[in-house]
A and B are shown apart, each in its own frame.
Chain A
Amino acid sequence: MNIVVCGKVIPASSVTIEIDSNTKRMVRKGVTHELDPAAASAVEEGLRLTEKHGGTVVLITMGISDVTIGIRNALAMGASSAVHILDDAVAGSDTLGTAKLLAAAIKKQPFDLVICATESSDSYSGIVPGQIAHLLGVPPVTFAKEIAIDGSKITIKRQSESGYDIVESMLPALVAVSSGINEPRYPQLKGIMAAKKKEIKVYTAADLGLATDQVGEKGAREKVLTIGRPPKRQAGKVVTDEGEGGKQIADFLAEIKVI
């Protein structure tokens, strides 16, 4: 089974995010990057499926050259190769621009299943997987918390407001996995060594047949007008518990007339 995983490499959780006031975008250049934990879960799910059913996992990502470290991490986990969409012209792509680029790159690979994280941990829009599915013309099977494949049929447990739904579709399909679907493996030394020799194909927008006015800042339908820190909530009183902490909270509850 040929599995393509779309995942993002994002500024590490330890990085304090800065915003460039000119572009109104997150500053990504020169900051430490890591494979998005949500993407790591998507890679892990792909690897588990190929361990069961055979086949390979190819990671596709888009980003500046700083993201290579995260691509290597996915390769060290066990992905067999990677595709990196690397092009200054794609900076500032909105969700649809991103989906067009990823879909075009996926089309260059043979695939039975595309796995995406439901949403990235740095922008949370959550609609890119469904857009990619439409552009590829495959069924969108979303919010999966468990995946089973039987022949050419995929069955998932789909997260719902009241529990979960059993949802079924035929391959090829796109599945978006929810956070917590698995615990991604840590790369082992052997995997890290092997990753150094694995291929990372690099594509530009032009390689993917996309004009630069369709993607990037120019092609974006969504424009950020202003960006800034939200007004901070006025922090209240903080006390250190010296044996009376619970009682002090009760006093506060009495003050706000809850008890």
Chain B
Amino acid sequence: MADVIWVYAELSDERCTPTTLEMLTKAAEVGKAEAVLLGPAPDDATQTLANYGASKIYRSADAVYRDYLTLPAAETVAGLIQQHNPAVMLFASSYTGRDIVANLSARLDCGAISDVGDFVLKDGSVETTIPALGASYQNTSTLVSQGTKLMLVRPKAFEAKTNEQPLSVEEVGGATAEALRTVHMKERVAVKREGPQLEGAKTIISGGRGLKGEENFAMLKELADVLGGAVGATRAAVDAGWVPYAMQIGQTGKTVKPDLYIACGISGAVQHLSGMKTSKFIISINKDAEAPIFQYSDFGVVGDVFKVVPQLTEEIKKRKGA
């Protein structure tokens, strides 16, 4: 019998998140994929999950999962795991995913593996690949605890493909205990972002500490405009308050995989590299010839970003006009 692999389904802007669908695709490839979907969701959410490989969906539309963080979802998932004992449960390496896995791993006393880039199942045990991070060493790890193996999966680790299954939904009980309602979600505030979104952008122009200030991001925006791309940033630029967090690429920001990534004034700290190094082509401009980013670049220019970037923008305009 195929191993049963569960995926914790997450929604963003009323839609299943890309990572949810990526994980389902992978789960259906290596076993029998099932999903858990908690909280209010649009009517077509369960159908979307089935379209990407979920042969069964455990579902509760209770608002408690939306209005209170972590604990109601962890309580319900823990109950379902104990009842059905899937081989593996996958969660996105997102805010919600990390919170629920942290709680579940302590509650079930089973541990968990973070930052999974790939995994294989062998006779009930699991072997995961954790792409190089932090100390820039790549490792393979396993979980030796009994029972369901919990994993946090990196965004874009797998490619989402449709794999339509008949829709099968099982309603599950809401988490009712008062003690679970302790972390109250009062309000969601969307910070307005201008221009194309980083997620899904084919071209990304990114700026780091070398840009020296907020005002210089306009120069990147001009280059992004002529290439039809989006603008991103490093943690240093975000921490300095030059651009909003929504633009942060890297381990504690977004993971992106565009066709073209142009790094401007970025040294290439591990924190940043882990969020963009699987881009198809990487071009970098930095005044320091020793900057690590050059080791990851297909083409690099050692020079002043304030000279090279405007010249590049002009040159593209000229060639496109020709």
Contact = CB atoms under 8 A, between A and B. Distances in A.
Interface in A48-81: none
A164 B133 CA distance: 26
A204 interface: no
Nearest to B10: A161
Contacts of B95: 142-143, 158-161
A91 interface: no
Interface in B269-295: 271, 277, 281, 283, 285, 289, 294-295
A225 B94 contact: no
A230 B191 CA distance: 36
Contacts of B320: 259
Contacts of A170: 182
A140 B259 CA distance: 38
A241 B301 contact: yes
Contacts of A110: none
A164 B186 contact: no
A239 B300 contact: yes
B309 interface: yes
Contact of A180 (B99, B189, B239): B239
A127 B132 CA distance: 18
Contacts of A142: 69-70, 95, 98-99
A139 B182 contact: yes
A155 B137 CA distance: 38
Contact of B312 (A165, A220, A221, A249): A249
Contacts of B303: 240-241, 245
Interface in B220-246: 227, 235, 238-239, 245-246
A155 B94 CA distance: 21
A246 B310 contact: yes
A130 to B, nearest CB: 2
A127 B134 contact: no
Nearest to A128: B102
A59 B319 CA distance: 59
A125 B252 CA distance: 11
Interface stretch (B47-55, B111-119, B163-171): B111-119
B316 A163 contact: no
Contacts of A3: none
B302 A228 contact: no
A213 to B, nearest CB: 13
B314 A94 contact: no
Contacts of B299: 236-238, 248-249, 252
B98 A245 contact: no
A24 B109 CA distance: 24
A44 B227 CA distance: 42
A160 B145 contact: no
Interface in B90-131: 94-95, 98-99, 101-103, 105-107, 109-115, 127, 131
A69 B136 CA distance: 25
Interface in A159-195: 159-170, 178-180
Contacts of A258: 203, 227, 259-260, 281
Contacts of A132: 106
Contacts of A94: 111
B122 to A, nearest CB: 12
B152 to A, nearest CB: 7
B281 A256 contact: yes
B177 interface: no
B183 A139 contact: yes
Contacts of A253: 260, 283, 316
A113 interface: no
B185 interface: yes
A250 interface: yes
A130 B73 CA distance: 14
A176 to B, nearest CB: 9
Contact of A237 (B227, B235, B285, B300): B300
Contacts of A24: 139
B143 interface: yes
B295 A245 contact: no
A122 interface: yes
Nearest to B296: A233
Interface in B48-89: 69-71
Nearest to B259: A258
Interface string A116-135: 00110111111111111111
Interface in A101-159: 118-119, 121-135, 139-143, 145, 155, 157-159
7 contacts: A95-B112, A135-B106, A143-B95, A179-B252, A222-B142, A227-B139, A256-B298
Interface of A: 17, 19, 24, 26, 94-96, 99, 118-119, 121-135, 139-143, 145, 155, 157-170, 178-180, 220-230, 232-233, 235-241, 244-250, 252-254, 256, 258-259
Nearest 8 pairs of A and B residues by beta carbon: A130-B102, A241-B303, A246-B311, A221-B111, A163-B191, A246-B312, A236-B298, A238-B300
Interface of B: 12-13, 69-71, 94-95, 98-99, 101-103, 105-107, 109-115, 127, 131-145, 152, 182-191, 203, 227, 235, 238-239, 245-246, 251-252, 259-260, 262, 271, 277, 281, 283, 285, 289, 294-304, 307-316, 319-320
